[in-house]
């Protein structure tokens, strides 16, 4: 067990942005605890996979416990796991509501609380959450009330925790993406989704990884909601 090499926990780590974040932190020299429902162990000894439902307390407890047992510390938590359900407000079901709050809110709360306790013991740490620019800049034709309710809450708590922990050595930030080209978006939707950004194209996974790693290096930045959204947050175009 190493107690010197830095360690990042990344949720929603099995594909897309999460998979990219695992690679990015490994390239930066971090050990990584990667968690998602379906993640499987790989050949890299510096990546410890923990399969589980991030909305469950027991998953959060196991991820944090195994991070300490295997690597001895927690320096960064990236709350990447999330769900997005777009439909007219009155069409949302109880199942939609339960899923969005379970993953986006409970999934943040349980693991962040436990990781923060370890960071406070160390006197250092960094918490980053992936939200969405639809919170600040809704788009006509993209109804996303549950995203506003849940991811908007993450933006708010990012600022609150940043001030709560400002003098402890623990920083708290968020990255607010536009629509990113990941496997969840079928190729036939790319033209429509690209047009939702002022720059005229979707973002790449690397854009979000670069933003998170910028915040990782930015020791004087806390409470920041960093928009990586092709100009969406600039206003309606």
Query: Which DSSP string do the residues of 70-85 spell out, in sequence order?
Result: HHS---EEEE------
Query: Which DSSP string do the residues of 144-208 spell out, in sequence order?
Result: -HHHHHHHHHHHHHHHHHHHHTTTTTEEEEEEEE--B--TTS-GGGHHHHHTTSTTSS-B-HHHH
Q: What is the pLDDT along the chain (237 residues), one digit of tens a residue?
A: 446 899 999 999 999 999 999 999 999 999 999 999 999 888 899 999 999 999 999 999 999 999 999 999 999 999 999 999 999 999 999 999 999 999 999 999 999 999 999 999 999 999 999 999 999 888 888 899 999 999 999 999 999 999 999 999 999 999 999 999 987 788 999 998 999 899 999 999 999 999 999 999 999 999 999 999 999 999 765
pTM: 0.95
End-to-end CA distance of the chain: 52
The vertex-216 CA angle with 84 and 52, nearest 5°, equals: 45
The residues near 80 (Cβ < 8 Å, ≥ 6 apart) are 10, 11, 12, 13, 17, 18, 21, 130
Residue at token pair 């708010």: 156
For domain 7-228, give the CATH superfamily: NAD(P)-binding Rossmann-like Domain (3.40.50.720)
The residues near 102 (Cβ < 8 Å, ≥ 6 apart) are 55
Helix (H) or strand (E) holding 97: helix 94-100
* Cross-strand pairs, 9: 33, 77
């Amino acid at each position: 067990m190493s107690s010197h090499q830095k360690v990042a926990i990344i949720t929603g780590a099995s594909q897309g942005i999460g998979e990219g974040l695992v690679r990015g932190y490994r390239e930066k020299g971090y050990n990584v605890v990667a968690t998602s429902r379906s993640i499987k162990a790989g050949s890299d000894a510096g990546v410890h996979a923990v399969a589980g439902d991030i909305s469950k307390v027991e998953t959060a407890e196991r991820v944090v416990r195994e991070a300490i047992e295997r690597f001895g510390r927690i320096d960064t938590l990236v709350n990447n796991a999330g769900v997005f359900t777009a439909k007219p407000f009155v069409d949302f079901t109880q199942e939609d509501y339960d899923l969005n709050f379970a993953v986006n809110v409970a999934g943040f709360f349980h693991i962040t609380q436990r990781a923060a306790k370890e960071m406070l013991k160390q006197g250092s740490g960094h918490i980053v959450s992936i939200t969405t620019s639809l919170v600040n800049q809704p788009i006509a034709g993209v109804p996303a009330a549950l995203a506003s309710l849940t991811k908007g809450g993450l933006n708010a708590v990012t600022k609150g925790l940043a001030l709560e922990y400002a003098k402890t050595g623990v920083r708290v930030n968020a990255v607010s993406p536009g629509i990113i080209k990941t496997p969840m978006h079928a190729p036939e939707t790319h033209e429509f989704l690209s047009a939702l950004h002022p720059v005229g194209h979707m973002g790449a996974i690397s854009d979000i990884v670069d933003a998170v790693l910028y915040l990782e290096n930015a020791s004087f930045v806390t409470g920041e909601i960093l928009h990586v959204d092709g100009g969406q947050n600039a206003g309606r175009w």
